[in-house]
Amino acid sequence: MELSKIPLFFFFFLLRLLSAVHSIGVNYGTLGDNLPPPSQVAQFLKSSTVIDRIKIFDVNPDIIKAFANTGILVSVTVPNGDIPSLTNPRNALRWVDANIKPYYPATKFHYICVGTEVLHWGPQNLVDNLVPAMRVLHAALIKSGINDVKISSPHSLGILLESNPPSNASFRPGWDVGNLAPMLQFLRKTKSGFMVNPYTYFGYSPANADYCLFKPNAGLFDKATGKRYTNQFDQLMDAVYVSMKKLGYPDVEIIVAETGWPSGGDPQNTHANPANAAAYNAGLIKKVSSGVGTPLMPGRKFETYIFSLFNENLKGPSLDEKNFGLFRPDFTQVYNIGIFRGSQHAPTGSTPKPAPAAPVAAQGKKWCVPKPDATNAALQSNIDYVCSSGADCHPIQAGGACFEPNNVRAHAAFVMNSFYQTNGRNDFNCDFAHTGAITNIDPRTTRGSSNPTTNGTGHSTFRPRPNPSALARLVGVAISGTKSLILRLLSQILPINELSMRSTSFPRAEIVKDSPEGIGEKDDLVWVVGSTVMVGHQSGVQPLIVKMQRMRSNQQEEK
């Protein structure tokens, strides 16, 4: 009698085990000029792989339509700049009508991600409107009769004040109660997951390579909890869990919205190679699908999206950004981690090249420095970001202790390290869109020190919040259809041919106070006191240029 039950028991056990292993998501990016059409991608994933869900970084209708009737879950993303407009219920309904309803339910929408790493990148207008937009968009879905699509928003781990050891983790002051607690309350109410992007790649050093790559190592012991960590992924996930628990939300599901490892990179990034990428992603899949959980979350599985599906040749500026893909554009594997249907092969990859001998390091100390290939434009953007976020940049101004040498790279080295040191020395705070690198070689010679004053606990009191009095730069944004253009002005309004431009996405702006003289509400413009000026004008770019020239003229008259 008992023996007859054993085969059935093992049958269900085996079925559960197989289904657990064969379930993983990917981020499907499209920054490449050689990528296959979405219809081929959908068919390939459905017929050849165990990938059962994708996340895209927009609401691309071609991709959404291609995945109809495939059974693959699709999560879409609201561009950061659209967030303020979605706090208006009418706009939210229109957004659902345009981007979800035409394809539902043939396409199995899973999540709508409202923005990407909004708290980390700002500006404050988007941060303040994030949770209200999530609430209003959820209400719009319900009003439209769509009850099975969830709302969330992915975060970088820059939201953490500290992550090592996990028991000491917490969310950053200002964001914790002001933004994350209301968000977690909303997620609990709607039974949705809290999305984070834990990249151990950005915490890599030769000394902790095995810890980052799920390989055998001595690990990290957390004295407060008595738990030992054998990989950095568990450490980061438990740091998020502890931070959520401190706000009273330990029960909210945690979703890994992005994580991965590049298979190639710039010459100095020798750890970006196929062997390490295979080791990390194979270890990741085994970890998240096993049901083992983490030391503080035993028995939990984590919905996970690997970054990314394809190598994308238009990403940059660094080579590692182009090489996060599991597949090449011709659908061949970059390395094998067993995600083809029926595949049980062990991960493969080339043997990592030995790293060049390094100078003697300062024991236990780390600094953030610009990568050698970082452009001056990218480094200037880093300076603008840090100096407009409340940091003390007086040392790199004329007469300051670190003004010399007076060049962009030297000044960027100061502010990037200052930001890194004052934000808990988390390695992801030295990312700077992949233009920063961690070193344990002291870069300071005769230049000023960027070691900030702390509050006595080893952690800075600095918070990445915009400084309303810092008018270091002005940014004008002109809306034209679904596209927008940023015109960056440094210190003053420059001639139009001197403006640097880049693509982005912003909503049609709302009117706020403190509009400069000569630019009024009739022009549908918004001027934000602080480091940015956003201009929303339905008639396109030319009126924006006219207004900027007009403001320049007014300034000259005042002089």
Q: Residue 4 above 80 pLDDT?
A: no
What pLDDT is recorded for position 378? 82
* Residue 419 to residue 501: CA distance in whole angstroms: 26
Dump pLDDT digits (tens) for 445-456: 434 444 433 332
Nearest to 203 by CA among 145, 164, 256, 252: 164
**Which has the closest alpha carbon to 156: 116, 192, 201?**
116
DSSP symbol at 477 = E
List, by residue range, all CATH 1.20.58 domains of the chain. 359-467
Per-residue pLDDT tens over the stretch 257-297: 999 999 999 888 899 999 999 999 999 999 998 889 999 99
pLDDT band at 435 (very low <50, low <70, confident <90, very high): confident
Binning the chain into helix, strand and coil, the percentages to the nearest 5 are 35, 15, 45
pLDDT in tens, 498-534: 222 222 333 333 333 333 333 333 333 333 323 333 3
Stretch 60-69: mean pLDDT: 97
> For the residues of 356-414, what is the DSSP string, one character each?
PP-PPPPTT--EEEE-TT--HHHHHHHHHHHHTTT---GGGSTTSTT--S-SHHHHHHH
Output 121 or 256, whichever has higher pLDDT: 256
Tell me the HSE value of 487 on the side-chain side, using a 13 A CA sphere.
23
Q: What pLDDT score does 182 carry?
A: 97
Nearest-CA neighbor of 354 among 281, 271, 277, 261?
A: 271
Q: What are phi and psi of 409, to 5 degrees?
A: -65, -45
| Predicted confidence band of residue 439 (pLDDT cuts 50, 70, 90) | confident
User: CATH 3.20.20.80: which residues of the chain?
Assistant: 17-55+154-322
Query: Which candidate, 256, 127, 287, 133, places its Cα nearest to that of 194?
Result: 256
Look up the CATH architecture of domain 359-467.
Up-down Bundle (1.20)
Instruction: Quote the pLDDT of residue 159.
Output: 93
Q: Report the percent of the chain where pLDDT is more than 70.
A: 70
Query: What was the pLDDT predicted at 401?
Result: 80
Domain 17-55+154-322 has CATH 3.20.20.80: yes
List, in order, residues 6 or more apart from 292 with CB less than 8 Å away: 298, 299
pLDDT tens-digit readout, 21-44: 446 999 999 999 999 999 999 999
Q: What pLDDT was estimated at residue 397?
A: 85
Q: What is the pLDDT of residue 121?
A: 86
Higher pLDDT: 430 or 212? It is: 212
Give the mean model confidence (pLDDT) for residues 192-198: 97
pLDDT number for residue 495: 31
Rounded average pLDDT over 301-305:
95
- Coil vs helix vs strand at 483: strand
Residue 181 has pLDDT above 50, yes or no: yes
Residues 6+ apart with CB under 8 A from 128: none
Q: What pLDDT is stored for residue 514 in this prediction?
A: 35
486 pLDDT more than 70: no
The full DSSP string for 497-524 is: GG-EEEEE--PPPPP-S-PPTT--GGGT
Instruction: Band the pLDDT of 392: cuts 50, 70, 90.
Output: confident
Q: What is the pLDDT of residue 538?
A: 31
**Is residue 246 scored above 80 in pLDDT?**
yes
Consecutive H or E run containing 151:
strand 150-152
Which pLDDT does position 510 carry in this prediction? 32
With 70 as the cut, is the pLDDT of residue 384 above it? yes
Averaged confidence pLDDT in the chain: 76
Mean pLDDT within 139-168: 95
Asked whether 297 and 237 are in contact (CB, 8 A), the reply is yes
Instruction: Point out the residues that are catalytic.
Output: 117, 258
More confident residue, 252 or 497: 252
Query: What's the rounded Cα separation, in Å, for the pair 327 and 324?
Result: 9
**Is the pLDDT at 308 greater than 60, yes or no?**
yes
Percent of the chain with pLDDT over 90: 51
Q: pLDDT per residue over 318-360, tens digit each?
A: 899 999 999 999 999 999 998 988 654 333 333 333 333 333 3
* pTM exceeds 0.85: no
Q: How far apart are CA 397 and CA 383, in angstroms?
A: 12
Label residue 514 exposed, middle or buried (CB < 10 Å: 0-12, 13-18, 19+): exposed
Kindly provide the b/e burial profile for residues 4-37, where b requires at least 16 CB atoms within 10 angstroms of the residue's own CB: eeeeeeeeeeeeeeeeebbbbbbbbbbebeebee
What pLDDT was estimated at residue 374? 80
Name the residue with higher pLDDT: 141 or 378. 141
Cα–Cα nearest to 347, from 273, 444, 446, 422: 273
